[in-house]
Amino acid sequence: MPGWWAARPAPPGRQGRGRPRRSFERIIAAAADLVDEIGAEGFTMRLLAERLETSTATLYRHVSSKQELMVYVVDRLFAEYSPPGRAEGEPPQSWHEAAEAAAVEFNRVLSRHPNMLPLLISQVPVGPHGLQVREQTLDALVSRGLPLPIAARAYTAIAHYVIGFALQLYAPGAPGSEEAAALGDYYRRLDPGAFPLTLAAAADLTTVSIDDEFLEGLRFILDGVGQANRS
Amino acid sequence: MPGWWAARPAPPGRQGRGRPRRSFERIIAAAADLVDEIGAEGFTMRLLAERLETSTATLYRHVSSKQELMVYVVDRLFAEYSPPGRAEGEPPQSWHEAAEAAAVEFNRVLSRHPNMLPLLISQVPVGPHGLQVREQTLDALVSRGLPLPIAARAYTAIAHYVIGFALQLYAPGAPGSEEAAALGDYYRRLDPGAFPLTLAAAADLTTVSIDDEFLEGLRFILDGVGQANRS
DNA sequence: ACCTGAACACCGTTCAAGT
DNA sequence: ACCTGAACACCGTTCAAGT
């Protein structure tokens, strides 16, 4: 499992004088596509080599390991994040609205790459794009009046929440539309006497959409941040 | 990656008439110990067979796959959770205090099993013990006056937060004491002009302990829940 | 200098063959 | 009936040998 500190300002590989750099990016891009298509689980250096019409030994001349490759694959997620723009004629947003919009956009990016989510574990994204997103978001909050110490803590809490939510909802292995039925069966088979509240809550939770559930939890955090800001 | 719905009320294996059941539990216990010792990454059916002085083929007569085995290994985490007891002569807790105590206890359990954390991805713990913990916690909140719909959403948000926090802090691959230095180096190498807020926040964040950081984020959520409860 | 076939040391899982 | 050695179909990674 790769750690965040493993990422380095200058990407690796014996980058000669420009050409190898290009190969490195071609490899990362192809690897990202492959993970999207077949999942992090099924991703194989042999498959990647095949798709690039080369050999695995050649891949290892540009990246030092599969782990390192995955660090850069994850960073491409953050390249897709587009900071929620303040719309033209609209009134200036509060930090609260800006934070919510950022979280929703981050969630949207993650939901589009379910197969990549397992790679986010124990890997705070600190690749070039990951850092840029954090800096942009901190700036959005601070410029709207939220003090930096609180903004930094809010960013951490929100990032944890969004990633955790996405992992359990979108990641391969999470219940899809068909598996939801199996889950229903599972709950119905539970002894209602033993888990009355769990069952009652499950019945209630199915009445709200997943998006709403995401927003409700998010607002818990944002309201708490607001309280910290006032006190 | 195993899904939660995959867990079943009745554990698997051709459980004959009592004896095989015992074997099943011996296997799960040994597997859990092995994961704790060498990590989920290094865990191997061959290693487990060796430790139990049997063969892999025999293991497969009691569990249907490595994935299923891991589902039950994870559930053992929840068997360790001891619901924070209301102390003897003390005044009755609020739901707020109860929720915080539960989250802290859950975090404590997770922090003691860093090697098991990667197994929690895309696996909402729905094994027997996992369900019991949820039911107990919901009961603790509801009995202290928090309405069930809010309690259920709070439980989900808190669980996501605690697991996300633990994954990024305790999971193998997270920066230990030595790697923290490497991380410092990494940040120092960043262009301060490009990431001024990230750098300023990092300097500030190092002044609070990890436990405090955990509690601060947690209180964001709990304060938000309180606000939802009042409105 | 750059590339690669083939190997090395592993996996999870299965099955024919033993007791 | 219960167990298992040995195999099957893979991995990530390396290296001698080619161009």
pLDDT at A173: 59
Partners of residue B174 on adjacent β-strands:
B172
Dihedral sign of CA atoms B8, B99, A150, B212 in order? negative
Q: What is the mean pLDDT of each run of 10 residues along chain A (231 residues)?
A: 39 41 88 94 94 94 90 91 78 90 95 90 72 92 94 88 81 55 58 84 76 88 91 77
What are the distances in angstroms from CA B108 to CA A111, B10, B205? 30, 29, 21
Strand D proximal residues, A:47-66, Cβ < 7 Å: 47, 55-57, 60, 65-66
Residues 193-212 of A with CB under 8 A from B: 194-198, 200-201, 204-205
The percent of residues above 90 in pLDDT, for chain B, comes to 45
Beta bridge partners of A172: A174
* Residues linked to residue A174 through DSSP beta bridges, in sequence order: A172
Longest CA pairwise span in chain A (Å): 70
Of how many residues is chain B composed?
Answer: 231
Mean local confidence (pLDDT), B12-32: 69
Instruction: State CA A67 to chain mean position distance.
Output: 18
| Distance D6 C1' – A68 CA (angstroms) | 36
pLDDT at position B6: 42
* Distances in whole angstroms, Cα of residue B168 to Cα of each of A120, B12, B162, B183: 9, 32, 10, 14
Residue given tokens 């302990």 in the structure block = B209
pLDDT above 60 for B16 = no
What's the CA gap between B64 and A23, in Å, rounded?
Answer: 43
Averaged pLDDT of chain B: 81
Mark out the alpha helices in chain B (DSSP H runs). 19-42, 45-51, 56-59, 66-79, 95-111, 128-142, 148-169, 177-189, 196-205, 210-230
**pLDDT tens per residue, range B127-183:** 778 888 999 999 999 999 999 999 998 998 898 888 888 877 777 665 554 455 555
Strand D positions within 7 A of protein Cβ atoms: 2-6, 10-16
Q: Tell me, what's the pLDDT at A175?
A: 52
Residue type at A110?
L
Query: What sign does the dihedral A93-A97-A101-A103 (CA atoms) show?
Result: positive
A44 touches strand C (CB under 7 A): no
Instruction: Give pLDDT, residue B2.
Output: 40
Contacts of B7 in chain A (CB under 8 A): 186
The answer for B69, left when phi > 0, alpha when psi is -120 to 50, beta otherwise, is alpha
Rounded Cα gap, residues A204 and B148, in angstroms? 9
The answer, yes or no, to whether residue B48 has pLDDT greater than 70, is yes
Give the CA-to-C1' distance from B121 to C12 in angstroms: 21
Average pLDDT over residues B19-38: 88
Tell me which residues of chain B, numbers 7 to 36, contact chain A at a CB-CB cutoff of 8 Å: 7-9
Q: What is the pLDDT at residue B45?
A: 97
**Chain segment B180-220, per-residue pLDDT in tens:** 555 555 556 667 788 899 888 877 766 777 888 889 889 99
Q: What is the pLDDT of residue A178?
A: 46
State the pTM of this model.
0.81
- Subunit contact A138:B201, Cβ cutoff 8 A: yes
More confident call, A127 vs B79: B79
Cβ B61 to strand D below 7 Å: yes
Q: Do A190 and B224 touch (CB under 8 A)?
A: no
